[in-house]
Amino acid sequence: MKNANDFRSEKERGAAPAAPRLFVIGTPFDRLTAPEGTTLAKARVKSGQCAFRIDGELRPFETMFYRRHLLPVGEALAGRAILLQKESTTVIPPGRSAFNDAAGNLVLKVAGDVR
């Protein structure tokens, strides 16, 4: 059974706090490389019908499916696209666009966005 002394802080007991441990899994930022020599055509997997809600109504659209890791850097990808990735799936609806930046980030844009 614990007594009141067990609940005092480490500082009150005069003990040094335990150093937190941090583990990071992944590729160091300075070793990231952008895909080279890829094109939208090489990244494309297939096309098919998908429904998107436009003005409160579901409408079918021909939609392109791409492998996310094969998208070229800096090339805009128009909406009505689905990006397939091992860990996630990204849906880019009509009227939106996306591109891979040099660091491998996927940047989504809304129509009229000037950033």
Whether 65 and 77 have beta carbons less than 8 Å apart is answered as no
Q: What's phi and psi for 39, nearest 5 deg?
A: -135, 165
Under DSSP, the state recorded for 31 is G
For the chain, the domains span: 35-115
How large is the average pLDDT for residues 14-18? 62
Q: How far apart are CA 64 and CA 50, in angstroms?
A: 9
For the chain, the average pLDDT equals 80
Closest C-alpha to 66, from 82, 88, 86, 77: 82
Match 């090489």 to its residue by tokens. 42
Other C-beta atoms within 10 Å of 25: how many?
4
Q: Looking at the predicted structure, is the pLDDT value of residue 15 above 70?
A: no
Encode pLDDT of 46-84 as tens digits.
999 999 998 999 999 999 999 998 999 889 999 899 999
